[in-house]
Amino acid sequence: MTSGSEAAPAVPVRMRPEILALPAYRQGQAAPTGFKLSSNENPYDPLPGVLEAVDRATRQLHRYPNAAAPEITARLAEEWGVEPDEVIVAAGSVALLMQFTMAAAGHGDEVVFSWRSFEVYPWMTVLPGATAVPVPNTADHRHDLDAMAAAITDRTRLVLVCSPNNPTSSVVTKAEFEAFMAKVPTDVLVVLDEAYAEFVTDPEAVNGRALVRRYPNLVVLRTFSKAYGLAGLRIGYGIGRADVLAPARTTIVPLSLTDHAQVAALASLDRGDELRERVANIAVRRDAVYEALLEQGWTGIPKPHGNFVWFPVGERTPEVLEVFRRHGIIARGYLPDGVRLTIGEEESVQNVLTAADEIARILR
Ligand SMILES: Cc1ncc(COP(=O)(O)O)c(C=O)c1O
């Protein structure tokens, strides 16, 4: 997690010390050769029709985008069975996470989340001057929802639930989520971050679709970056009550959602069958990798539900990354906790398993 105690670098103008002390967001490493399995991206090319739609939009590059995003908003409303004002679209779900944080939590307010989870959570909490309240994951790398509910105080303005959890790939179950929501005061915003929902095959897992309109204080976040493979274009959305979404519309960076992203999302939604087939292939590949790891003798790896696997190797993280690297695999390390590896191209699987076998023997 980001440490607030680091000395702020000297700058010639006055800036907020907590921002100076905050490391900038770092993305997964690129892979000059081999496989980039460090950013939970989708290995497939864009769905049919996407490049053509983006190309058409490119001819309007001299115009600002239509910030109201009416077509994609209406389409998502139809898909989710809600009204358009119950949908918010932005330049990635990370933008929405920031918009909701800015809208809900200011100086002295608290934001509760599980840790380790998406590295953006502690970072975005600092920006509006709020306080991060990280609640340690359980020993099996899952959200401890009882402890999270217990961490809510009268200063809590936002609770983040990430399922599947990045980077541990574990899910919250429906039953756990319902029990949790029963404990959260109804005036505290809960954001269910489901960036990887499409990859989930466990019927017991929570699914925001089944929760629409059930809780007035719940916003469900989804993205086109992962299953839909549009990470480079930046588009994500939230579903919730119109009056709960409205303040987050105010905190948007104006005009940041491009027309290209909007038309690409629309074109992708037209290709539901192909999308489901691709997602199913990745889920099957993920389960096969997990089974193979168990056969290699790995213990302690949580059953993966997203398009990635978590290796809880602790302080041995740099060594593990290095073995993967030697086998042409760029994974992502999260010191002092472990390594996250994206399920990528079919051709990467053999290298992943050869490296994992070597690592298992080194760690034994
Ligand atoms: C849990 C989680 N939420 C949100 C995001 C952000 O996705 P987007 O590309 O839509 O900003 C990510 C991306 O890695 C993620 O892992």
Give the model's pLDDT for residue 9.
Answer: 64
- What CATH number is attached to the domain comprising 341? 3.90.1150.10
Same domain, 225 and 291: no
Alpha helices in the chain (DSSP H): 17-20, 50-58, 70-80, 93-104, 120-126, 145-150, 174-183, 242-250, 259-269, 272-295, 317-326, 349-363
Same domain, 238 and 354: no
Boundary-marking domain end, from 211, 234, 269: 269
CB count in 10 Å sphere of residue 58: 11
Is the pLDDT at 14 greater than 60? The verdict is yes
Rounded to an integer, the average pLDDT of 165-190 is 98
pLDDT band at 8 (very low <50, low <70, confident <90, very high): low
Same domain, 145 and 190: yes
The Å distance, Cα 94 to ligand 1 centre, comes to 6
pLDDT band at 24 (very low <50, low <70, confident <90, very high): confident
Q: What does the alpha-carbon distance between residue 110 and residue 244 come to, in Å, rounded to a whole number?
A: 18
Is the pLDDT at 4 greater than 50? The verdict is no
Mutate to test the pocket of ligand 1, among 101, 222, 223 (most ligand atoms within 8 A of CB): 223
* Residue whose structure tokens are 């950013």: 39
pLDDT band at 25 (very low <50, low <70, confident <90, very high): confident
Boundary-marking domain end, from 212, 246, 269: 269
pLDDT band at 356 (very low <50, low <70, confident <90, very high): very high
Instruction: Find out whether the beta carbon of 115 lies less than 6 Å from any atom of ligand 1.
Output: no
Rounded to an integer, the average pLDDT of 327-346 is 97
Residue 239 backbone phi and psi in degrees, to 5 = -125, 130
- Which residue range is the domain that position 297 belongs to? 17-45+273-363
DSSP string, 289-307: HHHHHHHTT--SPPPP-SS
3-class DSSP assignment, residue 50: helix
Instruction: Find out whether the beta carbon of 227 lies less than 6 Å from any atom of ligand 1.
Output: no
Is the pLDDT at 6 greater than 70? The verdict is no
Strand 189-193 and strand 236-239: pairing?
A: unpaired
Is the pLDDT at 346 greater than 50? The verdict is yes
Give the model's pLDDT for residue 11.
Answer: 83
Paired tokens of 180: 């949790």
Q: Determine if the peptide bond prior to 167 is cis (ω within 30°).
A: yes
Q: Which of 114, 131, 125 is nearest to 177 (CA)?
A: 114
Mutate to test the pocket of ligand 1, among 166, 200, 222, 340 (most ligand atoms within 8 A of CB): 166
Instruction: Yes or no: say if 195 and 235 are a contact pair by the CB < 8 Å rule.
Output: no
Least confident span in 9-18, 211-220, 271-280, 289-298:
9-18
Same domain, 68 and 37: no
5 found inside a domain: no
- What CATH number is attached to the domain comprising 78? 3.40.640.10
Boundary-marking domain end, from 231, 252, 269: 269
Tens of pLDDT, residues 288-300: 999 999 999 999 9
144 found inside a domain: yes
Instruction: Find out whether the beta carbon of 162 lies less than 6 Å from any atom of ligand 1.
Output: yes
Q: What is the residue with the minimal CA distance to atom 6 of ligand 1?
A: 94
The Å distance, Cα 266 to ligand 1 centre, comes to 19
Share of the chain above pLDDT 70, in %: 97
Share of the chain above pLDDT 90, in %: 93
Rounded to an integer, the average pLDDT of 244-267 is 97
Instruction: Find out whether the beta carbon of 223 lies less than 6 Å from any atom of ligand 1.
Output: yes
The Å distance, Cα 321 to ligand 1 centre, comes to 22
